[in-house]
Amino acid sequence: MGKDHPSVKPMQRAALARATGCNLETIRYYETVGVMPDPPRDPNGYRSYGEDHVRRLRFVMRARDLGFSLEEIRGLLSLVDSHDQTCAEVKEIATAHLKDVQDKIVDLQRIERALSDTVAQCSGSEVPECPVLDALLD
């Protein structure tokens, strides 16, 4: 990229946060757990983030939005970083995650039915007996 692209200029952590919409503390955390690489430092000691950091942080944020765990994200990033990933390897991680999401949906639907049935039995009146509490105490 040429020097006429303003996003290529090195930036400090606050600018990276603004560019991505990510919280400063979250960026620090991602660096601590190794999802984000340590950036080089300017001569004055400030961290110097570039476009690669922006792209990587956006990748991590999108993966988190899709519910990928940090361990799953590390796996995906290791494939990206190795530059020899195959679609099959990525699909394996994504398929396992999809299965986890589908299992959670089934669990949530079961919880929703049970809670809905219990709440429907509750009169909501000013009496001490309550089917919701009875169900929780059983």
What is the pTM (predicted TM-score) of this model?
0.76
| Model pLDDT, residue 123 | 82
Q: How confident is the prediction for the chain on average, in pLDDT?
A: 89
Q: How confident is the model at residue 1 (pLDDT cuts 50, 70, 90)?
A: very low
pLDDT, greater one: 11 or 128: 11
Whether the Cβ atoms of residue 49 and residue 10 lie closer than 8 Å to each other: yes
Q: How many CB atoms lie within 10 A of CB 96?
A: 12
Do residues 84 and 90 make contact, with C-beta atoms less than 8 angstroms apart?
no
Each residue of 68-126: pLDDT tens digit? 999 999 999 999 898 888 889 999 999 999 999 999 999 999 999 999 988 998 888 88
86 forms bridges with which residues in the sheet? Answer: none
* Residue 79, amino acid: L
Tokens coding 59: 């990748």
pLDDT at 53 over 50: yes
Q: Does residue 14 carry a pLDDT above 70?
A: yes
